[in-house]
C-alpha cells in the first residue's frame, strides 16, 4: 500500500544555531530538530549518549527502596527467591539479568517462565507450585502489573515484588512492593524502559546499596538490556538510547557465554552490530523458543557458563527459529485467505481484521498479525482457538490505541493487556463472532477515513545526488535507530533512473543509477528485493524513499542511495476515473485466464495495457500509478485475488452487485466522483 508522505517541520532558528555551534550540515541539524532536539545542550547529549546522557537515580522509582530492602533481607537470610518472567525476549533477558545479578550477590535464586499455554503473567497453579517448593520471595519481571487477583490468592503464603513496565490497571495492594514507572505518583523521569530496563535499575539499586557502586557507572549485563530494549520496540531516547549505545559497544566483546554463542550462530561474529542485527537476527532466535516450546531454554542460554552447552542451546534456538519461519509463512497465507473471504462477504468495506483458527500455534499469531497489519494497514487481531477459549494477539495502526480500545470490550476477556500498538487477550470462543462485529463497528465509528492511510515521515525532500560522504557520516552519529529515533529518511519525486539491473544470487535485488540535473554526476542506488521494478524504471519516472549509506570499495569511500520504497510517479500519473476502471478491469479479465502474463508484474503488465485497445487517450491514465491504484480498489472489492507470492491472480465473479464506493481506497482518493 502506498504511503502518504508527511514532511517534518523544524524551527529555522534552532537549525541555524545547531549548524553554527556544532559544525554540522543544515540537513543534519534538521534531522536533530525532528527528533525533538530544541537546544545545543540537548543536541550534545543526543550526539554523545555514552558520556553526556546520565542514568537516573533508581531509588526515585516508586517502590524501589522497599523492594531493595526485602531482597537484601532474602539474600542475607538465604531465603529461596524465584524470578517469574515472560516468554518473549524482554521477559527472557529480564529473568537472566536478575538471576545473574542476585547470584553474584550471594542469593539463593532460580527462575520460572510460564509456557504460552499457561498464558502471560501470573497464574494461580504456577504460583501454588512455587509456594509448595518452599520459596519465600517471588519477583516478577516484565509481567505482574495486571495480576491483582492472582497475587491476592497467595498473599498469605509468599512475599511478592512486582516489577513491570506495562500500563497498570487496578492497584495492587497485596505485594511487598510494585515497581513500574507508569504507576500513579511514580516520579521516575523516564517512562520508556522495557521490562529488562526496569530489572536493570533494580540491579543498579542493589549494587549501590550492598556494594556502594555508583549507579552512574554500573553497566553489568548492559548488552542483554540493549537486546531487550530493541526487541520490545520501546522508544530509543533518554536512558534507552544510552543503554542501547553502550550495549552495542559491549556486545562484540561480551563476557556472556550464551550471548556470544547466539551471536556466532546468527553469523554476526566480528561484525559491527546495529539495532537491525539485534531486532532481526538475535531477537527472533530467542523469541522462537518462547513461541514454539519453552522460553526457559533462552534463559538457560544466557545463564550458561559452559561453551559447549551454550553452543548446543544456541543451535537449538536457530532450528526453532527456522521452524517458526515456516509456521509463520503458512499461517500468514491462511490468515490472508480468511480475511479475503470476510472482505468479500462485506463487499470490501472493513475497518479491522479479526481472523481465527484452531490450527494456528499461539506462539506465532503475533507475527502473523504484524504481517497482516503491514499489508493492509488495518487494526489486526489474530486468534488461536483452543477449545472453548481463544487466545489473541493484536497489532494496531497509529490512530488507534489498542489497549484503550480493548478496555471498552474487557467484559469479553478472561485476561488482557498491552500497549498502544500491541496487545493480547483470552476470550470465550463462542463470543468471537459477536466481538468481531462490535470491534469493527467501534473502529469504524471512532476513526476517520484518512486514518487508514499509512504515513511515511520524511526528514527532507532532496535529490539523491545531493548526498555526500560528510552527510552520511553525520547521519551515523544519530544512531542507534529505533522507535522515536528512526533512521533519517529522505524522499524525492519524479526521479529518472538509468541502467537498472537485477543482482544477487536469486537476481531479486535491484541496482540502478540516478542522474543529477546537470547530467555530470550519477549516484548509485540499491533496493533489496525490488528487481521487479526494472520495467517501471525503464519506462517512467519514480518517487522514492531513501537513506544515505557509506560504501567502501577498493579502499575508496563513497556514498550510495539505499532505496526503501519505489512508487510510480504520482504527479506524472492520475488516480483512475470510473471509465478507466472499467477498461483496466476488462484488460485484467482478458488475461486472467491466460498464462503468458505469469509471473504477474504490475510494471510489465502496465506496459501491455498501454499498448492495448483499452488504453486511454490521456497518457496520465495509462501510468503504472493508475494501474496500481485500480488493482488496489479491485482487491478491496474482492474482484481480484492474488496468490500468496503475489505473482499470479484470478478474477472471481461476484455473487452480488458491487459499488466502487464500497472501497475505502476509492472513497478517499476519488471523493469528487461520488
Q: How far is CA 643 from CA 76, 221, 600, in A?
A: 63, 46, 10
Would residue 599 be called left, alpha or beta, if left means φ above 0 and alpha means ψ between -120 and 50 degrees? beta
Asked which of 253-267, 299-313, 589-603 is least confident by mean pLDDT, the reply is 589-603
Residue 659: per-residue pLDDT: 84
Q: Which strand (E) or helix (H) includes residue 246? A: helix 239-250
Quote the CA–CA distance of 433 and 521 in Å, as a whole number.
60
Asked which of 25-39, 78-92, 106-120 is least confident by mean pLDDT, the reply is 106-120
Residue 673: per-residue pLDDT: 47
Q: Is pLDDT above 70 for 77?
A: yes
Residue 519: per-residue pLDDT: 55
Q: Do residues 32 and 26 touch, judged by C-beta distance below 8 A?
A: no
The predicted-structure confidence for 653-664, as pLDDT tens digits, reads as follows 776 677 888 888
Can you tell me the mean pLDDT for 113-123? 84
Specify the higher pLDDT residue, 155 or 289. 155
Can you tell me the mean pLDDT for 522-528? 90
* φ/ψ (deg, to 5) at 53: -80, 125
Residue 243: per-residue pLDDT: 98
Using alpha carbons, select from 375, 394, 372 the residue that is nearest to residue 383.
394
Quote the CA–CA distance of 12 and 179 in Å, as a whole number.
42
Specify the higher pLDDT residue, 364 or 274. 274
Confidence of residue 250 (pLDDT cuts 50, 70, 90): very high
The predicted-structure confidence for 397-454, as pLDDT tens digits, reads as follows 999 999 999 999 999 999 888 788 889 999 999 999 999 999 999 999 999 999 999 9
Quote the CA–CA distance of 433 and 427 in Å, as a whole number.
12
Contact partners, residue 671, CB within 8 Å, separation at least 6: none
Can you tell me the mean pLDDT for 497-504? 92
Q: Do residues 568 and 542 touch, judged by C-beta distance below 8 A?
A: yes
Residue 517: per-residue pLDDT: 66
Place of cell 519465600: 136
Residue 644: per-residue pLDDT: 66
- In the chain, the percentage of residues whose pLDDT exceeds 70 is 96
For the record, the C-alpha cell of 231 comes out as 526487541
For the record, the C-alpha cell of 609 comes out as 495495457
Q: Do residues 137 and 71 touch, judged by C-beta distance below 8 A?
A: yes
Q: Do residues 85 and 94 touch, judged by C-beta distance below 8 A?
A: yes
| Three-state DSSP state, 591 | helix
Quote the CA–CA distance of 343 and 345 in Å, as a whole number.
5
Can you tell me the mean pLDDT for 22-34? 94
pTM of the full predicted structure?
0.85
Q: Is pLDDT above 70 for 599?
A: no
Residue 664 preceded by cis peptide, ω within 30: no
Concatenate the DSSP letters of all residues of 593-652 into one string. T-STTPSP-HHHHHHHHHTSTT--SSGGGGSHHHHHHHHHHHHHHTS-EE-TTSS-EE-P
- In the chain, the percentage of residues whose pLDDT exceeds 90 is 68
Cα angle 385-91-480, degrees, rounded to a multiple of 5: 115
Using alpha carbons, select from 296, 353, 283 the residue that is nearest to residue 324.
283
Residue 169: per-residue pLDDT: 79
Helix axes 222-231, 283-292, angle to 10 degrees: 70
Can you tell me the mean pLDDT for 88-116? 95
Would residue 625 be called left, alpha or beta, if left means φ above 0 and alpha means ψ between -120 and 50 degrees? alpha
Q: Do residues 412 and 435 touch, judged by C-beta distance below 8 A?
A: yes
Q: Is pLDDT above 50 for 674?
A: no
Residue 418: per-residue pLDDT: 79
Q: Is pLDDT above 70 for 259?
A: yes
Residue 596: per-residue pLDDT: 53
Concatenate the DSSP letters of all residues of 305-358 into one string. --HHHHHHHHHHHHHHHHHHHHHHHHHHHHHHHHHHHHHHHTTT--S-EEEEES
Q: Do residues 607 and 535 touch, judged by C-beta distance below 8 A?
A: yes
Hey, what domains does the chain have and what are their CATH numbers? Answer: 58-316 (3.90.1640.30), 350-452 (3.10.310.30), 456-568 (2.40.50.460), 578-673 (1.10.10)
Q: In whole angstroms, what separates CA 12 from the centre of its chain? A: 32
Place of cell 490468515: 335
The pLDDT mean for the chain works out to: 91
Can you tell me the mean pLDDT for 89-108? 97
- 595: buried, middle or exposed (CB in 10 Å: 19+, 13-18, 0-12)? exposed
Can you tell me the mean pLDDT for 299-313? 96
Quote the CA–CA distance of 331 and 325 in Å, as a whole number.
10
The predicted-structure confidence for 120-179, as pLDDT tens digits, reads as follows 789 999 999 999 999 999 999 999 998 999 999 999 999 999 999 998 878 999 999 999
Q: Is pLDDT above 60 for 38?
A: yes
Q: Is pLDDT above 80 for 606?
A: yes
State the pairing for strand pair 380-386/413-418: unpaired
Q: Do residues 201 and 190 touch, judged by C-beta distance below 8 A?
A: no
Amino acid at each position: 500500500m502506498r504511503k502518504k508522505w508527511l514532511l517534518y517541520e523544524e524551527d529555522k532558528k534552532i537549525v541555524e544555531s545547531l549548524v553554527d555551534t556544532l559544525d554540522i550540515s543544515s540537513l543534519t541539524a534538521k534531522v536533530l530538530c525532528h527528533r525533538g532536539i530544541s537546544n545545543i545542550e540537548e543536541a550534545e547529549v543526543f550526539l554523545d549518549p555514552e558520556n553526556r546522557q546520565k542514568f537516573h537515580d533508581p531509588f526515585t522509582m516508586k517502590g524501589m527502596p522497599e523492594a531493595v530492602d526485602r531482597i537484601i533481607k532474602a539474600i542475607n537470610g538465604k531465603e529461596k527467591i524465584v524470578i517469574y518472567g515472560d516468554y518473549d525476549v524482554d521477559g527472557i533477558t529480564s529473568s537472566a539479568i536478575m538471576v545473574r545479578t542476585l547470584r553474584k550477590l550471594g542469593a539463593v535464586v532460580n527462575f520460572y517462565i510460564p509456557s504460552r499455554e499457561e498464558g502471560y503473567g501470573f497464574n494461580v497453579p504456577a504460583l501454588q507450585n512455587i509456594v509448595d517448593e518452599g520459596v519465600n520471595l517471588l519477583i516478577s519481571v516484565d509481567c505482574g502489573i495486571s495480576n491483582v487477583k492472582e497475587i491476592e490468592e497467595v498473599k498469605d503464603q509468599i512475599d511478592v515484588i512486582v516489577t513491570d513496565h506495562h500500563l497498570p490497571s487496578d492497584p495492587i495492594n497485596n505485594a511487598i512492593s510494585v515497581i513500574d514507572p507508569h504507576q500513579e505518583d511514580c516520579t521516575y523521569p523516564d517512562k520508556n524502559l522495557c521490562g529488562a530496563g526496569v530489572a536493570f535499575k533494580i540491579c543498579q539499586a542493589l549494587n549501590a546499596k550492598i556494594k556502594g557502586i555508583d549507579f552512574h557507572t554500573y553497566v553489568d549485563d548492559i548488552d542483554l538490556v540493549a537486546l531487550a530494549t530493541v526487541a520490545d520496540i520501546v522508544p530509543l531516547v533518554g536512558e534507552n538510547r544510552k543503554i542501547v549505545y553502550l550495549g552495542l559497544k559491549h556486545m562484540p566483546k561480551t563476557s556472556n557465554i550464551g550471548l556470544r554463542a547466539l551471536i556466532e550462530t546468527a553469523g554476526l561474529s566480528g561484525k559491527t552490530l546495529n539495532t537491525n542485527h539485534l531486532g532481526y537476527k538475535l531477537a527472533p532466535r530467542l523469541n522462537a523458543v518462547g513461541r514454539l516450546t519453552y522460553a526457559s531454554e533462552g534463559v538457560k542460554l544466557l545463564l550458561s557458563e559452559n561453551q559447549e552447552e551454550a553452543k548446543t542451546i544456541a543451535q537449538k534456538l536457530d532450528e526453532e527459529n527456522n521452524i517458526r519461519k515456516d509456521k509463520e509463512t503458512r499461517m500468514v497465507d491462511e490468515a490472508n485467505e480468511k480475511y479475503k473471504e470476510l472482505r468479500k462477504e462485506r463487499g470490501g468495506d472493513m475497518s479491522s481484521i479479526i481472523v481465527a483458527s484452531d490450527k494456528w500455534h499461539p506462539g506465532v499469531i503475533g507475527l502473523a498479525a504484524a504481517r497482516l497489519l503491514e499489508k493492509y494497514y488495518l487494526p489486526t487481531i489474530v486468534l488461536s482457538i483452543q477449545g472453548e477459549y481463544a487466545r489473541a494477539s493484536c497489532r494496531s495502526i497509529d490512530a488507534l490505541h489498542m489497549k484503550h480500545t480493548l478496555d471498552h470490550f474487557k467484559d469479553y476477556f478472561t485476561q488482557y493487556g498491552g500497549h498502544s500498538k500491541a496487545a493480547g487477550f483470552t476470550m470465550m470462543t463462542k463470543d468471537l463472532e459477536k466481538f468481531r462485529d462490535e470491534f469493527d463497528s467501534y473502529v469504524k465509528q471512532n476513526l476517520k477515513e484518512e486514518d487508514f492511510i499509512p504515513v511515511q515521515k520524511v526528514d527532507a525532500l532532496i535529490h539523491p545526488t545531493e548526498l555526500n560522504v560528510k552527510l552520511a557520516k553525520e547521519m551515523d552519529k544519530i544512531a542507534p535507530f529505533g522507535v522515536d529515533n528512526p533512521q533519517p529518511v529522505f524522499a524525492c519525486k519524479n526521479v529518472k533512473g538509468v541502467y537498472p539491473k537485477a543482482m544477487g544470487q536469486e537476481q531479486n535485488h535491484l541496482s540502478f543509477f540516478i542522474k543529477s540535473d546537470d547530467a555530470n554526476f550519477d549516484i548509485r542506488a540499491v533496493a533489496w528485493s525490488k528487481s521487479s521494478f526494472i520495467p517501471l524504471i525503464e519506462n517512467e519516472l519514480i518517487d522514492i524513499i531513501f537513506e544515505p549509506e557509506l560504501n567502501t570499495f577498493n579502499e575508496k569511500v563513497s556514498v550510495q542511495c539505499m532505496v526503501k520504497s519505489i512508487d510510480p510517479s504520482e504527479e506524472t500519473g492520475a488516480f483512475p476515473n470510473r471509465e478507466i476502471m472499467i477498461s483496466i478491469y476488462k484488460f485484467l479479465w482478458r488475461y486472467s485466464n491466460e498464462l503468458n502474463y505469469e509471473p504477474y508484474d504490475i510494471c510489465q503488465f502496465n506496459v501491455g495495457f498501454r499498448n492495448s485497445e483499452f488504453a486511454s487517450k490521456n497518457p496520465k491514465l495509462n501510468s503504472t500509478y493508475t494501474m496500481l491504484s485500480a488493482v488496489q480498489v479491485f482487491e478491496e472489492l474482492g474482484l481480484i485475488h492474488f496468490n500468496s507470492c503475489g505473482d499470479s491472480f484470478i478474477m472471481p465473479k461476484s455473487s452480488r452487485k458491487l459499488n466502487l464506493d464500497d472501497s475505502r481506497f476509492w472513497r478517499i482518493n476519488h471523493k469528487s466522483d461520488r
